[in-house]
Structure 1
Amino acid sequence: MKYLLILLICFTANAQTSGLVNYKSKIFSQVIDTTEIKDDKIKKSMLQTVQKMKKQMPYASYVLKFNSNESIFKIAKKMTVDEIIDYNLIAGFSDADGEFFNSKNKKIRLRKLKAWNNEYIIRSNFPEWKISNQKKDVLGYQCLKATTEKELDNGDIIEVVAWFAKDIPFNFGPKEYAGLPGLILEIEERGIKFYATEIDLNNKKHNIKLPDVKKSITKKEFLSQSPYK
């Protein structure tokens, strides 16, 4: 009976051609290291920002739409009555502002981002993943752990942890992360976690129009245009 149920889940997932996933984000460990900051005012301001983000992040959600070849990920803004939520600050703090596109066939990632009064399209290749045997349950799916590395704007290298479901055979996930043999349901990076809250697999055709690759630039070229360099 258990074997039949697994076969049914796999068959159902493989029969779908597209889907939509809702994600939330939260701070789960230290996100800012203030040990080397000597200015107490700057340190206090940074810590206050972290506390503000811990309070506001639950109000923001993100949406991943995908078909068999492409995906788009972006923040979904919602109105709240109780307090003013700074969605731009939440997304920027999590390095999730703008729109993230992935193409399975082209193995390319594109991020459409507004910065310094201009709009940019930043391109990069799929990351290289290391898949382990470590498992955990996410929304009823058995997920495997995978890790990769990410270079921050300041040049620091951090480890990124992903949990992906092989039973959902789509190669996409939150933000710029893609290229695993299954849908990424959780991402952990720099003390911030993006986690799936709802999965809708269907046969609706999500037409995803990728930005013009010819107008894209590398991350290095993007950072070179910063007025603060």
Structure 2
Amino acid sequence: MASKLNFSYKYIMSNIIKPYYLLLLISFNIFSQNQEKNSTATYVSSIHKELGSKSTNTDVINQFNKSIKDKEAYFDLIFNKRESYYSMQTQMSDTNDFKQKIANIFFGDGTSSYVKRDSKESVNLVEAYGEKFLIPIQKWKWVLTQEKKIISNYICFKAKTSYIVKNSKGDFVKNVVAWYSPEINYPFGPKDFNGLPGLILELYDSNLKYVIKELSFKNTSKRINKPTRGKKISQEEFYEIGIKMDGGYSKKQ
């Protein structure tokens, strides 16, 4: 009788209790990940320096600089320990101010960035040429320096990197300077810049400047969702589309 009871106990533990416990543990882990606290950083973007006028369309460039000189745009970075999502604030995109719309495009409206820490899943969602594109985010190679300054009461260090932009006029190197704070241990920042040992609080990307305006560690109701709808292409392929479009436009002039 005792052996039968012992067998029943082992059977219940092995075939009912343990699988149920394992399922409960897995469900708890998934729930914990989904409920991970999301914080918010709001950045304000503005012109760092005017566009150069080496082009033959000097008047157009000057008029453009004048139009967006005093314009700003606001972006939100939603982040946690694992991932982040960066996009322009909705009210900025919905403006009826024509000059602001032009400035928004220059500042980065139409591009949202999803970054997953230590992963190849990081991607930019780019709306251009009447389509949506999903473009993998490159791994940034940063040069760290000991130069530092205070931004919003946080000690920040300077880091540098660069990237190449291609268009119908050739290849151009864009220099980037980021000021990050190791006191805020999140490797994210404006646009798709990431991988530094601290949150980026100030960024200079060629002609543009992005500065932290507000930082909240209160759990936000906004969720981080990886973009999945769009045509998957490489950055090189995206440049090729732009060159073809620009070439077709130039021939019509």
Give the TM bin, normalised by the shorter chain: 0.7 to 0.9
The amino acid of 1:181's aligned partner reads P
* Aligned-partner SS, 2:59: helix
| Structure 2 gap segments, 5+ residues each | 1-35, 248-253
When you count helix as a share of all residues, which structure comes out higher?
A: 2
Deviates more, 1:200-209 or 1:103-112: 200-209
Deviation at 1:105, TM superposition (A): 3.0
Residue number in structure 2 paired with 1:185: 201
The amino acid of 1:157's aligned partner reads V
Instruction: Give distance in 1, aligned partners of 2:64 and 2:98.
Output: 13
Q: Bigger relative contact order, structure 1 or 2, given CA contacts below 8 A and separation 6+? A: 1
Kindly indicate whether residue 82 of structure 2 is the aligned counterpart of residue 69 of structure 1.
yes
| Match for residue 103 of structure 1 among 92, 108, 116 | 116
Aligned length: 204
Residue number in structure 1 paired with 2:162: 149
Deviation at 1:163, TM superposition (A): 0.3
Residue number in structure 2 paired with 1:194: 210
Moved over 4 A (4+): 203-206
Aligned residues with identical type, % of pairs: 25
- Give TM-score, length-normalised by structure 2: 0.73
* Aligned-partner SS, 2:215: strand
Deviation at 1:18, TM superposition (A): 3.1
- Alignment deviations for residues 136-161 of structure 1 (CA, whole Å, 9 cap, x no partner): 11111000000001112332112100
| Match for residue 24 of structure 1 among 33, 44, 56 | 44
> Rg bigger for which structure?
2
The amino acid of 1:173's aligned partner reads G
CA contact (8 A) 1:56 1:85 kept: no
Instruction: Give distance in 2, aligned partners of 1:195 and 1:75.
Output: 14
- Alignment deviations for residues 126-182 of structure 1 (CA, whole Å, 9 cap, x no partner): 201011000011111000000001112332112100000100000100001001010
The amino acid of 2:135's aligned partner reads I
Instruction: Give distance in 2, aligned partners of 1:96 and 1:78.
Output: 12
Q: CA RMSD in A?
A: 2.3
Instruction: Give distance in 2, aligned partners of 1:24 and 1:203.
Output: 21
Instruction: Give distance in 2, aligned partners of 1:69 and 1:87.
Output: 34
CA contact (8 A) 1:147 1:160 kept: yes
